């Protein structure tokens, strides 16, 4: 992870310097010092390039003098429009422009009166500097990105440092998610993912892992039906963070009882993730083209894991529980067939019309378990659930489905603030009728029309009217091009959004 330091503004005698300013700003402070020290070559270069400091623009000036290797100008746009998100994006642009430089000094005088924005800038740079390179063995040293340390300079550096501490924990959570989602599917199968999650107990999370024997006892017929075709066993992993109740173990396993015992204590908030470590489609097998993308069909689960790590890492004052259903969806002689009828933990039966609609089957059992063991304030599930949501919303918004106006509003707002945008989709009885079955309580697909909505209707049948939201992240979990704070690949969409919602509404 990019090492961040905050310090008083001081003219460096070597290395790379970043100048940050808003449109039409005049050289002041450290910017002026750099310009004077280089005999005005910085202002001449800015002039020659007609650099206007508009948002997202960068200009690199090589060897300007005064011993500096480069000066990079980064535009912030209009002064009154610098939101935390805009500061993060500026940080991301800095990291991108500095690929081959080992250390940078960032002149952040412009945030003199808003030191929190300097912390957001550091977060953005950190998020962009991420790279998953575990499996590159032949890359030449000179081709590797080198940025390792950024010193952000502003008068109130102490305040910026304090603000950054929890953000760093969130960035660590984001990286845990990105690492999990990036791993190839031969490495990251359900038992391996469960093992990696277990290691997070070092953060103070209480982790429980369940295998097929326990799932059999819980009556997880839907999840086990998906797992049947695979040579590797499924897992459910439950992560508890007791940040509001501290050492009190009231909400432990068998927590419905626990919740009653400790009256007056807030009930936990709950996050549930789809963790299909590879989705071939099963017997309803997918076409070959692009099937490798289905390694990231566990992104919902990966996001829940990173979120729980973030909450624990920044010692959030909340009781939270994260549950992930981990399975591999494979075709084989033992795989479930189209036409099979399975019985969920809720007792409801499901006719499996299409074995490729497996995510909803996994979520159905895990959601049921969650409400019975934890009686949470609300449940938010995350899943790369449908290709149809990509048709509806592209890669700009994740689909939000909810039976609770207040929860939907809080999620939407947190999404806007973190840049992990959500768009509310409808639910309704007419859609629900599409998943009626002639032989069982429901079928697992509702036909082509409204495919993301009928998937959500299916899940809603397992939440018992409790406050719930479903985020369909099929279009946002993986990026095919770089953006300000997200290098292409696993995005960890949802970690920052849900962390923000918890911070704003469910702590203290």
Active site residues: 286, 360
Structural contact between residues 361 and 338, judged by C-beta atoms closer than 8 angstroms: no
205 phi, psi to nearest 5 deg: -80, 145
By CB under 5 A, tell whether 163 contacts Mn ion: no
Find which of Mn ion, Zn ion, ligand BES, none residue 474 binds, CB within 5 to 8 Å per kind. Answer: ligand BES
By CB under 6 A, tell whether 229 contacts ligand BES: no
Strand partners, 349: 343
Among 321, 427, 474, 485, the residue binding ligand BES under the rule CB under 6 A is: 474
Q: How far is the CB of 499 from ligand BES (least distance, A)?
A: 23
CA 166 distance to own-chain centroid: 16
Among 356, 365, 375, 499, the residue binding ligand BES under the rule CB under 6 A is: 356
d(CA 408, CA 299): 21
By CB under 5 A, tell whether 328 contacts Mn ion: no
By CB under 6 A, tell whether 328 contacts ligand BES: no
- Is residue 58 within a helix (H) or strand (E), and if so which, with residue range? strand 58-65
Structural contact between residues 457 and 427, judged by C-beta atoms closer than 8 angstroms: yes
CA angle 470, 474, 475 (to 5 degrees): 115
Q: Give whichever of 300 and 306 is closer to ligand BES, judged by the CB atom.
A: 300
Q: Give whichever of 20 and 294 is closer to ligand BES, judged by the CB atom.
A: 294
Helices (H) and strands (E) in the chain, counts: 16, 19
d(CA 103, CA 425): 45
Q: Which of residues 85-124 bind ligand BES (CB under 6 A)?
A: none
Q: How far is the CB of 356 from Mn ion (least distance, A)?
A: 4
Compute CA distances 216 → 239, 325, 379, whole Å: 20, 14, 23
Residue nearest to Zn ion (CB): 279
Q: Which of residues 293-312 bind ligand BES (CB under 6 A)?
A: 293, 297
**DSSP 8-state secondary structure symbol assigned to residue 140:** -
By CB under 6 A, tell whether 340 contacts ligand BES: no
d(CA 83, CA 66): 33
| Residue among 404, 438, 402 nearest 422 (CA) | 402
Print the binding letters for residues 24-63 with ligand BES: x by CB under 6 A, - otherwise. ----------------------------------------
Structural contact between residues 407 and 431, judged by C-beta atoms closer than 8 angstroms: no
Find which of ligand BES, Mn ion, Zn ion, none residue 388 binds, CB within 5 to 8 Å per kind. Answer: ligand BES
Checking DSSP bridges between strand 235-242 and strand 319-329, what pairing results, if any? antiparallel
Q: Give whichever of 192 and 293 is closer to ligand BES, judged by the CB atom.
A: 293
In order, the DSSP letters of 293-354 are GGGGTTHHHHHHHHHHHHHHHTT-SSEEEEEEEEEEE--STTS--TT-EEE-TTS-EEE-S-
Structural contact between residues 96 and 90, judged by C-beta atoms closer than 8 angstroms: no
**DSSP 8-state secondary structure symbol assigned to residue 202:** G
Q: Give whichever of 356 and 375 is closer to Mn ion, judged by the CB atom.
A: 356
Q: Which of residues 230-289 bind Mn ion (CB under 5 A)?
A: 279
Among 312, 388, 471, 490, the residue binding ligand BES under the rule CB under 6 A is: 388
Q: How far is the CB of 395 from ligand BES (least distance, A)?
A: 11
Q: Give whichever of 345 and 357 is closer to ligand BES, judged by the CB atom.
A: 357
Among 182, 384, 412, 476, the residue binding ligand BES under the rule CB under 6 A is: 384
433 phi, psi to nearest 5 deg: -65, -25
Burial class (CB in 10 A: 0-12, 13-18, 19+), 7: middle
Residue nearest to ligand BES (CB): 387
Among 19, 188, 445, 486, the residue binding ligand BES under the rule CB under 6 A is: 445
Print the binding letters for residues 351-370 with Mn ion: x by CB under 5 A, - otherwise. -----x-x------------
Among 297, 365, 375, 499, the residue binding Zn ion under the rule CB under 5 A is: 297
By CB under 6 A, tell whether 279 contacts ligand BES: yes
By CB under 6 A, tell whether 456 contacts ligand BES: no
Q: Give whichever of 319 and 420 is closer to ligand BES, judged by the CB atom.
A: 420
> Applying CB under 5 A, which residues contact Mn ion?
279, 356, 358
> Applying CB under 6 A, which residues contact ligand BES?
279, 293, 297, 354, 356-359, 384-388, 445, 451, 474
> Applying CB under 5 A, which residues contact Zn ion?
276, 279, 297, 359
């Amino acid at each position: 992870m990019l090492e961040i330091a905050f310090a008083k503004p001081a003219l460096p005698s070597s290395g790379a310097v970043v100048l940050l300013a808003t449109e039409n700003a005049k050289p002041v402070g450290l910017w002026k010092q750099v310009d004077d020290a280089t005999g005005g070559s910085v202002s001449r270069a800015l002039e020659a390039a007609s650099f206007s400091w508009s948002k997202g623009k960068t200009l690199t000036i090589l060897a300007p003098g005064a011993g500096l290797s480069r000066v990079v100008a980064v535009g912030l746009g209009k002064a009154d429009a610098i939101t935390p998100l805009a500061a993060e994006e500026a940080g991301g642009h800095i990291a991108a422009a500095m690929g081959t430089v080992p250390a940078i000094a960032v002149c952040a005088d412009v945030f003199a009166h808003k030191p929190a924005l300097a912390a957001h800038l550091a977060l953005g740079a950190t998020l962009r500097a991420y790279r998953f390179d575990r499996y590159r063995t032949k890359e030449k040293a000179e081709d590797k990105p080198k940025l390792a340390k950024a010193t952000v300079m502003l008068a109130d550096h102490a305040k910026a440092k304090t603000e950054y501490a929890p953000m760093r924990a969130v960035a660590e959570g984001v990286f845990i998610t990105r690492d999990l989602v990036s791993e190839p599917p031969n490495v990251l199968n359900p038992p391996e993912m469960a093992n990696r999650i277990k290691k997070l107990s070092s953060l103070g999370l209480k982790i429980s892992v369940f295998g097929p024997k326990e799932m059999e006892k819980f009556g997880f017929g839907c999840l086990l039906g998906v797992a049947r075709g695979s040579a590797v066993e499924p897992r459910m992993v439950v992560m508890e963070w007791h940040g509001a109740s501290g050492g009190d173990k009231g909400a432990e396993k068998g927590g419905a009882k626990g919740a009653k015992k400790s009256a007056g204590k807030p009930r936990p908030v709950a996050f549930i993730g789809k963790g299909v470590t590879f989705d071939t489609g099963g017997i309803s097998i997918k076409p070959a083209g692009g099937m490798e993308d289905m390694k990231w069909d566990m992104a919902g689960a990966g996001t829940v894991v990173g979120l729980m790590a973030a909450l624990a890492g920044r010692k959030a004052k909340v009781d939270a529980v994260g549950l992930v259903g981990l399975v591999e969806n494979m075709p084989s002689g033992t795989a479930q067939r189209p036409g099979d009828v399975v019985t969920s933990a809720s007792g409801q039966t499901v006719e499996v019309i299409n074995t490729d609609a497996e995510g909803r089957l996994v979520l159905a059992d895990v959601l049921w378990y969650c409400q019975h063991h934890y009686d949470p304030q609300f449940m938010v599930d995350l899943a790369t659930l449908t290709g149809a949501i990509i048709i509806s919303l592209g890669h700009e918004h994740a689909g939000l489905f909810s039976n609770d106006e207040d929860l939907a509003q809080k999620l939407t707002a947190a999404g806007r603030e973190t840049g992990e945008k959500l768009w509310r989709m409808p639910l309704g009885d007419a859609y629900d009728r599409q998943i009626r079955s002639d032989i069982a309580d429901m079928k697992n697909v509702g036909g082509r029309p409204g495919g993301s909505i009928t998937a959500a209707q299916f899940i809603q049948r397992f939440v018992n009217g409790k406050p719930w939201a479903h985020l369909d992240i099929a279009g946002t979990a993986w990026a095919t091009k770089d953006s300000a704070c997200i290098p292409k690949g696993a995005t960890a969409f949802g970690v920052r959004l849900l962390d923000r919602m918890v911070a704003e509404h469910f702590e203290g």
